[in-house]
Amino acid sequence: MLQAFIITLREGVEASLIVGIVFAYLSKIGRPELKKTVFWALASAIAASVAGAVVLARTQFNSDVFEGWVMLAAAAFVISMIWFMHKTARSMKGEIEAKVAKYTGGAGVSKLGLFFFVFLLVLREGVETVLILSAVSLNSTELLSFTGTLLGIAVSVVFGVLFIRGSVRINLQRFFRVTSVILYFVTFQLLVSGLHELSENGVLPSSAAEMRFIGPIVRNDLFFFVTMLALAGLMILMEQRRRAPEALPADATAADRRRAQWSQRRERMWMTAVVSTSFLFIFLSTAEFIYAKSSTALSPTSAVTLVGDQVTLPTAAINDDKLHRFGVHIDDGKGGSPEVRFLLYKKPDGNIVSVADACQICGPVGFYIGAQGITCKMCASPLNAASMGQPGGCNPIPLKSTAGGGQIVIAASDLKALVPHFEK
């Protein structure tokens, strides 16, 4: 339940923060009629997220490839949103409403661009959340997982409302500066994550050098979430500390003074709520991240030796869904004997498959079983258990083996072919 809650909270708060920025922005520039477009985009994205996740789960279409393209498309719309906000900020001398209409080429174009901006960002978060939670459900009861998901969504929506209420009276130029930085982080995260998904699935060319750069960024994507929340919280906090009591005319009535005091107390309440929830979310997400990191350590390697020209292992020991890691020293013909690590794994269909503890893209970094299943330690990419033993993407390099008489037999020549991967 807690894991489902944290996953939904992280994905939902990112979407709520971005949508909250859009709502607050529309209020500031005097275009409240466009809020209907945002609501339509939200509803469409939520429906498409569920439908898309169901289709991806029931077909052979690669969900990672779909998500990669959605991320890149969303990044393009975020960049256009930043460009538009900068243009609007530079045009603040005149009537902002007129300038907005001029720069967007009319209400129709504005609505269409706004719709796809919100739709793609929420779709990306929605599909990713549904797919991740489908994996989490395998490790927890469905009721608890569903409850955690609902709580995460509810808290995310509350945060979005708090952010809109707390930022509505912030100076427009200051609002532009901070939210532009947040959107730059969103853009960078989308670009890197999109390229990573497409690279590991062979759509784009990739190499170990590229993954050494992209992998740690994707693996530690909590940094983006924490930074965006911290910026939003600090923006509200600084405004709260800077805000002076509203000056009232000398002839103001007692009712006017009470109304002004109530308005100021209400604004402080909204701002305090945004700051408090922002840093509470940061604490919860960081705690979950630290806990998750403790489960990424590779299991111990069991040493085996060549007997003649082969390695023989009993199949009786491979009777669960864990990764069984082995290592054997192989003469490389150059005076060295690097350890070649390989894995034995019982697939969902009951067959035992042998693979190298390395992949073509990321190298010999190893694999572990985490919350999302079998995962590459370099790029944190989850794998489909049914695809173990198949080449391509970030899958472990296939290793030939034969099974019979209660034994798994791996030839020394096949192990020697893996030596170059473990010498890197």
Q: Is the dihedral of CA 272, 275, 277, 279 positive or negative?
A: negative
Cα Rg, the chain, nearest whole Å: 26
Residue 369: name the closest of 138, 146, 212 by CA. Answer: 138
Per-residue pLDDT of the chain (424 residues; tens, 9 = 90+): 555 666 666 667 767 777 777 787 777 677 777 888 888 888 888 888 777 767 766 665 666 677 777 777 777 766 766 676 666 555 543 443 444 344 344 444 467 777 887 887 777 667 666 655 555 444 445 555 666 666 777 777 777 777 766 665 656 566 667 767 777 777 787 788 777 777 766 677 766 666 667 766 766 666 777 777 777 777 777 776 776 666 667 777 778 777 777 877 777 787 777 778 777 777 777 776 666 665 667 888 999 988 888 899 998 888 888 899 999 998 877 767 888 999 999 988 888 999 999 887 778 888 988 767 788 887 777 777 878 888 876 788 999 999 888 899 999 999 998 888 887 5
Do the beta carbons of residue 306 and residue 260 sit within 8 Å? no
Cβ-based neighbour number of residue 62 at 10 Å = 16
Beta strand 407-411 with 310-314 is: antiparallel
CB environment 13-50: b (16+ within 10 A), e (fewer):
bbbbbbbbbbbbbbebbebeebeebbeebbeebbebbe
Is the torsion defined by CA of 403, 408, 410, 411 positive or negative?
negative
- The backbone torsions φ and ψ at residue 354, rounded to the nearest 5 degrees and listed phi first, read -115, 135
- Joined tokens for residue 294: 């403790």
Strand partners for 374: 369
- What is the C-alpha to C-alpha distance for residues 12 and 83, in angstroms, rounded to an integer? 25
What residue type is assigned to position 270 of the chain?
Answer: W
Residue 91 is predicted with a pLDDT of 52
pTM of the model: 0.54
Domains of the chain: 2-293 (no CATH), 302-422 (2.102.10.10)
